[in-house]
Each structure stands twice: as structure tokens, then as C-alpha cells.
Amino acid sequence: MATPIFQTSTFSFGTAAEGARRFAGEEEGYIYTRLGNPTVRALEDRIAVLEGGERGLAFASGMAAVSAVLIALTKTGDHVLCSNGLYGCTYGLLQMFEEKYKITHDFSFMATEEDVRNGITEKTRCIFIETPINPTMKMIDLSMVARVAKEYGIPVVVDNTFCTPYLQRPLDLGCDIVLHSATKYIGGHGDVIAGLVVGEKAFMDDLAMSQQKDIGGILSPFDAWLLLRGLKTLHVRMDRHSSNADEIARKLKEHPKIKHIYYPGMKEHEHHSIVRKQMRTGGGVLAFELEGSKEEAQQFMDRLRLIQIAVSLGDAETLIQHPATMTHAVVPEEKRREMGIGDSLIRLSVGLEALDDIWGDLVYALNEV
């Protein structure tokens, strides 16, 4: 019932001729775990089915997956159009691309077709989207962006970490490549670092034989086994994360010390119509702004007793972090504010605990500020 763990670095051949055939691609079979492993392959096959893609690939981290895809799609002088808001390390990677390899990037709100068209240049080689955007929870209409991108022959890459294939399926909406930090909800228990990519077989075959093989950011068999275990309970966990987050968002909205609440599942969310069109629920992550300063936001976090201060998300435990000084600290202040990341903004990854326990901890800490 459980997928075996093939904890081996290399595979032996029955004969020299068999080894030669495998290296030549004339015969199916395993050679070396950096090039393929049965446990890892089981995970790759499963995520491809869940996302509705032709092939999946597993990487050592979410950023290894992001890096591999962007390297595969670009070369010196090219341009990447991005959603106006990205995970801090993705932003840092794009900055490095620009400084070292002259691969430029621009940000767009992508609110309309005109926004997308205005952001595309003759050098644009891919559109990279987070939706919901981390940590502001803004939404982008994936089918609209995909429709425009296809007119220009530009692939659309979607970071689907916050949603997983249970809540949102970008490939079904016309996008070309979907990726995950599987560290988060797919693993679900805070005990593995991993990344996943799904897309058409031709592109994924090239990605496997170039960026994955030669750069070598591969996933270990044991970590693949942990993710296979996590996938078995994904739908159950996502339902609980979502229902808890929905209730917490509604309660926070009524609290006098909360200035703004950002949760896609609320009807008041500016992009709720997009959420209803492309997501099953609002997900398990929300953000809110306190009526106060950065210091007061940090004071609030320090008063929490159950909720842990940690920068990840999707764990069984509820986690809280301060984006301006943590996950998005690498982003210059002016750009952060343009993205909507102020000093009093806090991101909450709502866990699987009893709702009353989560809410009780938040109320206690808010009363202490």
C-alpha cells in the first residue's frame, strides 16, 4: 500500500550492452538517481495526474523548480513579465538574472487584457504569475492572461503553491506550466523541502535532460516518499485549512484593532469574482494589517502562545510571519510598498488546530498590544 523507498544512488546493469542502450535512450530503465528513481517517478507521475499535465518533475526545493523553469525559458537579453507581487526569493532570482545575464523583468497588475498586452515586449519569453499573490492575496484571472499570451506565443508559468491542484488547476485554465513549493501544502507536515513542475511532455523532457540533470537540484527518494504520503490526505487537509481560514478571516474583520483583512474567500475581497471562477475555496492563507506600527505588529506576534512565528505555510500548525522583515525583506522598501506590503502587514497560514484555539490565541495577543 505504501510506495517503496528506493534509497540508492545508482543502478546496476545486467550487461554492458544494456547499460549502453539505456544511456543511448534506446531502452527504458534506471541509471542513476539524479537521472531518475522509482520513488521519485511515482511522485512525478502522481502530481502530473493531479494537475492534468503530461509529465511532472520533482526538485530539491520550490526555488530549484522556479530556477529550472526560468533558466529553460530564457537566455541573455530576454524579458520576463511578472505578476505585481512575488515570493521574495523569486524576486531575488530575477534580480540576479538581470544583473548577471541581462535577462530583464517587469511587473504588471494584469487586471485587464490591456494590462497584459502593455507589459509584453518583443523580448518577452514567459509570463510568471503567482495567484493568490504572496502575501497580499491579490488574484489574477488565469484564463484571461493565458488567452492573451497565446496570441503572442508566450508560455504562462503559474506558481500554484498556495492552492495546490485541489483548489486550482492552472493547466485547465489555459496556462502552460505549473509549479509548486511542495514544502508547503503538498508535504503538509513541515518536514520536507521540495519543488514540483508539471507541463507538456516535450518541454518537461527537455527540462529533465538539461536543467534538472545538469544543474542537479533533484529530490531524494525519501523526500519523495514523504510527499507521496502527504498527497494521500491533501484534500482532507485543504478543506480544514480553508474552513478554518474562512472563519478566522471573518472574525478578524470585525475586530477593532484590525485595519484591513485580505482573504480570497471573502465576498468583500476585491477579486472575489476571480476566486469563484478558478478556485474551489479561498485557501488556508490570509493577511491582515493592524492599526499600528511595525513595532506593534511585532509585539502582537511576540504575544502569541499557540501560533508559531515561522516563514513557511501549509503546515498542520498555524504559522505567522511579518513579510516586510522576513519573506520579502530582500525587496526594496519602495517596491514592497508598491506591491502592497506595508510595515503592519502580517501573513497567517491557518493550520488544522481547533478553530477556538486559533482564535483564542489571536484575541489574547491582540488584547496585549
- Report how far residue 156's alpha carbon sits from residue 27's, in angstroms, rounded to the nearest whole number: 33
154 CB contacts (<8 Å, ≥6 apart)?
81, 120, 124, 125, 126, 127
- Residues 228 and 46: their CA atoms lie apart, in Å, by 8
Catalytic residue among 34, 251, 253, 280: 34
294 among known catalytic residues: no
Question: Hey, what's the cell of 368?
Answer: 496585549
Task: Give the strands of the sheet with 345-349, arranged side by side.
Answer: 258-262, 285-290, 345-349, 319-321, 308-309
100 in catalytic set: no
**Known catalytic membership, residue 176:** no
CA 350 to chain centre: 16
Q: Catalytic: which of 87, 166, 262, 263?
A: 87
For strand 156-159 and strand 285-290, is the pairing parallel, antiparallel, or unpaired?
unpaired
91 is catalytic: no
Q: Which of 41, 184, 336, 347 is catalytic?
A: 184
Q: Which of 141, 159, 246, 343 is catalytic?
A: 159
The catalytic residues are 34, 87, 159, 184
